[in-house]
Structure 1
Amino acid sequence: MNLIKDLPLSIQVSKKIEDDIIFGHFLPGTKLDEVELCERYGASRTPIREALKLLAAEGLVEIRPRRGAIVPEVNPMTLCEMFEVMAELEGMCGRLAARRIQDDEKTKLLSMHQRCAEYLESGDSENYYEMNRQFHFQIYLASHNSFLIEQAGSLHKRLHPYRRLQLRVSNRMSNSFAEHEGIVQAIIHGNEAEAERLLREHVVIQGQKFTDLIATISTYTKS
């Protein structure tokens, strides 16, 4: 099953615009003209506008009155700080999930983990990331804390372009899956402290790998 092709067109387009921003095709300060975007991505204005709204919610695009969509400056230090906060929120989600997860939620989490294994084996980073995203949101839901779910979900969405891109860094996808294995076992066996520690480290690793991410972006931009 191809998760990406099953997504709404607006989300598929948003991922393409996302890549073009991160890889330097659209530089900071660039005005994203809807007509040009329609031609570039072969889509009508409706999914383009919906895609821009999605990207604005993630902070990759700013929609300004009378100016339209603009690519803003991205501060690497701010991204690092966001990863630090995300690590703490995910750790808390893991701890509560290990305490409160229901049997049907365990089944869903294990199923998602298995799907990640299949995408890893085929080297499909895009579909791996989409299932990885659902995997993390399932952990948030298993915390059964609505405010925490809202906050973790919101920050995850802000960071998702960079988390997705990091899977293209050498060995990151296989390392991510190995880390997931420990997280899953800790949660389904009710090991709260271990689940919290592993999830925090899982996201902090992403932050520590930020220099690899910047190098990857630079490589794509120069190519």
Structure 2
Amino acid sequence: MKSRSEELRETIEEMIAVGTLAPGQHLDETELATRFGVSRTPIRETLIQLASMGLVVIRPRRGAVVAELGPRQLVEMFEVMSELEATCARLGARRMTPLEQQALLDAHEECKIASVAKDPDDYYYKNEAFHYAIYAGSHNQFLIDQARSLSRRLRPYRRLQLRVRDRLPTSFAEHDGLVQALIDGNGELAAQRARDHVMIQGQRFTDLMASLPQLTAAAS
């Protein structure tokens, strides 16, 4: 059973991921305490936890704000994310059990349903489950922890990407090629397809930069 502190952290983390709390937005402890019906102490503890994850920045005597990423930071973090995912895919191609392969196929099918429905919010959650299935298949807990940590840090931006025109069917097609390489046990091909799927560059980077104001607008 989750503690109240864990529930608070997950709720606020989700609000950041979906843009309800936008990058750069001030996080007022009193306001959050009133919203969740708790004292300021658990809110303060939650913000410290989120700061350790890189989702919040706590400034001396100025309080906490939702962390912002500049263009260079985004590129650098997506670059590292793509390499972590590539490593997970390479190991997963060798190590995934039949049950884990089936879990991946099930997650892939759920992504297809959301893609066909043109529902970016539903696809976002199904897409996350799909990637987590690949992480699990690596059978390397340290790698899994690192991949999940950075993935959480990038959640608002990965979600935003899915709202770019035609990104859902493109993402699903990329998943399709990645799944095939994983099931075939082709580690190098799986790694390359995972890397290409996650990396932000060229037009994808331009589209993401153009969409960033939506995060702020969502909280207005």
Compute the TM-score of the two structures, normalised by the length of structure 2.
Answer: 0.80
Alpha-carbon separation, structure 2, partners of 1:33 and 1:62: 13
* 1:82 to 2:77 alignment: yes
Shift of 1:36: 3.2
Alpha-carbon separation, structure 2, partners of 1:72 and 1:153: 18
Q: Which amino acid aligns with 2:15?
A: K
* 1:198 to 2:197 alignment: no
* 1:71 to 2:70 alignment: no
User: What value does the CA root-mean-square deviation take over the aligned residues?
Assistant: 2.8
Q: Percent identity?
A: 47
SS in 2 for 1:69: strand
Q: 1:65 to 1:90 in 2, by over 3 A?
A: same
Alpha-carbon separation, structure 2, partners of 1:10 and 1:44: 14
Which segments of 5 or more consecutive residues in structure 1 lack a partner in the other structure? 1-7
Q: Which residue of 2 aligns with 1:104?
A: 99
Aligned residue pair count: 208
Q: Which residue of 2 aligns with 1:126?
A: 121
Alpha-carbon separation, structure 1, partners of 2:115 and 2:20: 24
SS in 1 for 2:90: helix
CA contact (8 A) 2:16 2:66 kept: no
SS in 1 for 2:154: helix
Alpha-carbon separation, structure 2, partners of 1:170 and 1:151: 30
Alpha-carbon separation, structure 2, partners of 1:20 and 1:64: 21
Q: Which residue of 2 aligns with 1:151?
A: 146
Q: 1:222 to 1:16 in 2, by over 3 A?
A: closer
Alpha-carbon separation, structure 2, partners of 1:77 and 1:118: 34
Q: 1:171 to 1:53 in 2, by over 3 A?
A: farther
Q: Provide runs of 4+ in structure 1 moved above 4 Å.
A: 50-55, 64-67, 219-223
Shift of 1:112: 0.5
Q: Which amino acid aligns with 1:14?
A: E
Compute the TM-score of the two structures, normalised by the length of structure 1.
Answer: 0.79
Match of 1:178 among 170, 173, 179: 173
CA contact (8 A) 1:97 1:140 kept: yes
Measured against aligned partners, the alpha-carbon deviations of 1:40-65 in whole angstroms (never above 9, x if no partner) come to xx54347x938746643542312356
Shift of 1:111: 0.4
Q: Which residue of 2 aligns with 1:14?
A: 13
SS in 1 for 2:164: coil
Q: Which residue of 2 aligns with 1:44?
A: 37
SS in 2 for 1:110: helix
